[in-house]
Amino acid sequence: MKTLFRHIRTFFVETRNRLHRGQVTRDDLFIGEVLKRNQIITDFQLQQALEGQQEILKQKGRAMRLGQVIVDLGFAAEKDIIRTINAEYQIEVTSLADDIRELLAGKYGAYFERLPQPRMPMWAQMAVATTVIIVLTMLALGMVVLSQQKERLYEQTVRLGTVSINYFANNAPIPLLEDDILRLNTLIREAARVEGLRYALIVGPDNLIKAHTDVNLIGLPFRHFVENPTTRQQDEVVYYRYNRPDGERLINLYRTISFKDKPLGQVHVGISLNFIEELIRQERLSIVLLTLLILMVGLGVAVVYGVRFSRPVSQLVRATKEIAMGNYQYRVPVRRKDELGTLAGAFNRMGQELWKNAMAQKSFGKYVGTEVLDLILANPETGWLKGTRNEATILFGDVRGFTAYAMDKPPEQVVDALNTYLEIATRVIIKHGGYIDKFIGDAILGVFGVPVYRQDHVERAVRAAVALQEKLLTESLKGNSLLAHIGISIHTGEVLAGNVGSQTKMEYTVIGDSVNLASRLNAFAGPAEVVVSRQVVESIERLIEVQLLGPKTVKGRTDPVDVFKVLRIKGPHIAKD
């Protein structure tokens, strides 16, 4: 149950975030969901791309296609996006500028997009299901019962014929030996009074009919009623089925008449089987009437219980829509004492927790990175909060000469300038896949590679630093001179990442020698410069052009450390998750 509500909560949070963006089109979400489903981008990257799209809309006053934003952010290559969409929907997209909706309409028809999806209420579904179950059950039961009854009636008919034929066989030998036709026919006439018996006859050794219920056939040669009949035998009696020309179905039973093991002739008895079919038809009609009666009762029960169950479900659907639109205070009436009542109560508690989480995101989200916040909300007890060793890249940015800058300026102006710097740095670092670990006065500590690991975390950090310096220099021309005096240092290596703090206050952070070295390298970065360690250069030496500043003595290290200034970064970024 906890897992179910966690998935529901995640769905609500995602839906709310997308609805609150306002300007996101259905085509954008369509492309984003396709790419996420095919693992071209992650859910976090999709959220970042949507946020980046909204930022472009605010700054430039025009929308940019989501696919292009994903490419510009380095989350995926354009060819991979096009290949995924073409494979998913069997269309021919050649570039991200193509109208995908138009292509889909041309292939599958715009008419079908406008067709409403069929909707069947729960009571109707239960009624249909009840009808199918009752009909199938009664059909199967009827077939079994009727088949068994038909077989029993047939066996009973065979027994009746066997009794009659044994009576004739036991009483016919003496008259047959004496060729006493009168006695034989008297014996046969007694059998004519048996219900269902159509005929009885005795055949002599010369294959002539000696006695028959139809006196017109006496003295004629006997022939079986069908040629080469398929017979069955029970003790001394042999029988087979056949149809008369008038359509009546009969069973013919016969046995040999013998005297002291000497065969004298045969006795035949014909019994009608039509009464069996008539009884079966009557039983079939009874089953149909019984099925209709049960069906009416079942449908009534199904409709009553369907309505009883559909009403609270409809209330839950309405509550779902309210919560998806951000109304976390909406409550479902709890009037039942069954599982649906329990679900309604749990739903109300979930809405309350979502409201708390929304408040936490608005406040707590300002202090930790988005990825860290998502991990905390998704599973606060997972092992990632514990200390783990990871390869990561540390970016440390500090203002050169901040004390002198702040000394002769009003506090409000200093705070405003500093906030502008930190805001720009935050956006650039997050855009390149890092997260903000902490602000330390006028410094910022960014981390790449944890908690979400990416193979190219070193390249991302260096590109983020270069892009940040370019952005800061551009913005400094607008009057904020502080932005032109930021020094950035980068080092990569093993760090210890985890949740550090006390029961009162916790902080997800990275610690270790690599973090310390990144911080101390910052002393060698001048205004608008980016300096890196040898480990960084060796990791991406083909992508950057650097200048060796020489071995530098760093506090805490006995040996000098090679420090390099980044002059240029080569080529576009190709993301590697």
- Rounded Cα–Cα distance for residues 323 and 151 (Å): 64
Convert the pLDDT of each residue in 422-448 to its tens digit.
999 999 999 999 989 999 989 999 999
Give yes or no for residue 82 having a pLDDT over 70.
Answer: yes
Give yes or no for residue 6 having a pLDDT over 60.
Answer: no
Q: Which residue has the tokens 């008038």?
A: 246
Q: Are 354 and 12 in contact (CB under 8 A)?
A: yes
Q: Indicate the pLDDT class of residue 111, thresholds 50, 70 and 90.
A: very low
141-277 under CATH 3.30.450.20, yes or no: yes
Give yes or no for residue 372 having a pLDDT over 70.
Answer: no
Convert the pLDDT of each residue in 512-568 to its tens digit.
999 999 999 999 999 999 999 999 999 998 899 999 998 999 988 889 999 999 999
CATH code given to domain 380-569? 3.30.70.1230
Q: Are 31 and 103 in contact (CB under 8 A)?
A: no
Give yes or no for residue 22 having a pLDDT over 50.
Answer: no
Pull the structure tokens for residue 67.
Answer: 């696919």
Give yes or no for residue 238 having a pLDDT over 70.
Answer: yes
**Of 574, 569, 576, nearest in space to 470 by CA:** 569
Q: Indicate the pLDDT class of residue 4, thresholds 50, 70 and 90.
A: very low
Give yes or no for residue 574 having a pLDDT over 80.
Answer: no
E runs forming strands in 141-261: 197-203, 209-212, 232-234, 237-243, 249-259
Name the more confident of 438 and 385: 438
- Rounded Cα–Cα distance for residues 62 and 57 (Å): 5
Q: Where are the alpha helices (DSSP H) in 370-456?
A: 370-378, 402-407, 411-431
**Domain boundary assignment for the chain:** 1-115, 141-277, 380-569
Measured from the Cβ of residue 414, the count of other Cβ atoms closer than 10 Å reads 17
Sign, Cα dihedral of 109, 110, 115, 117: positive
Give yes or no for residue 414 having a pLDDT over 90.
Answer: yes
Cα 99 to chain centroid distance, Å, stands at: 29
What was the pLDDT predicted at 369?
A: 53
First-last CA distance in the chain: 32
Give yes or no for residue 108 having a pLDDT over 70.
Answer: no
Give yes or no for residue 26 having a pLDDT over 60.
Answer: no
Q: What is the mean pLDDT of residues 178-204?
A: 82
Give yes or no for residue 304 having a pLDDT over 80.
Answer: no
What was the pLDDT predicted at 290?
A: 84
What was the pLDDT predicted at 104?
A: 66
What was the pLDDT predicted at 383?
A: 52
What was the pLDDT predicted at 526?
A: 93
Give yes or no for residue 212 having a pLDDT over 60.
Answer: yes
Q: Which residues contact 508 (CB under 8 A, 6 or more apart)?
A: 368, 372, 376, 385, 451, 497, 498, 499, 500
Q: What is the mean pLDDT of residues 132-147?
A: 83
Convert the pLDDT of each residue in 155-173 to its tens digit.
888 888 888 888 888 888 8
Give yes or no for residue 456 having a pLDDT over 50.
Answer: yes
What was the pLDDT predicted at 530?
A: 96
Give yes or no for residue 340 having a pLDDT over 80.
Answer: no
Q: What is the mean pLDDT of residues 348-361?
A: 75
Cα 398 to chain centroid distance, Å, stands at: 49
Quick one: what percent of the chain has pLDDT higher than 70?
Answer: 82
Q: Indicate the pLDDT class of residue 51, thresholds 50, 70 and 90.
A: confident
Give yes or no for residue 320 having a pLDDT over 60.
Answer: yes
Give yes or no for residue 299 having a pLDDT over 60.
Answer: yes
Give yes or no for residue 98 having a pLDDT over 80.
Answer: no
* Average model confidence (pLDDT) across the chain: 81
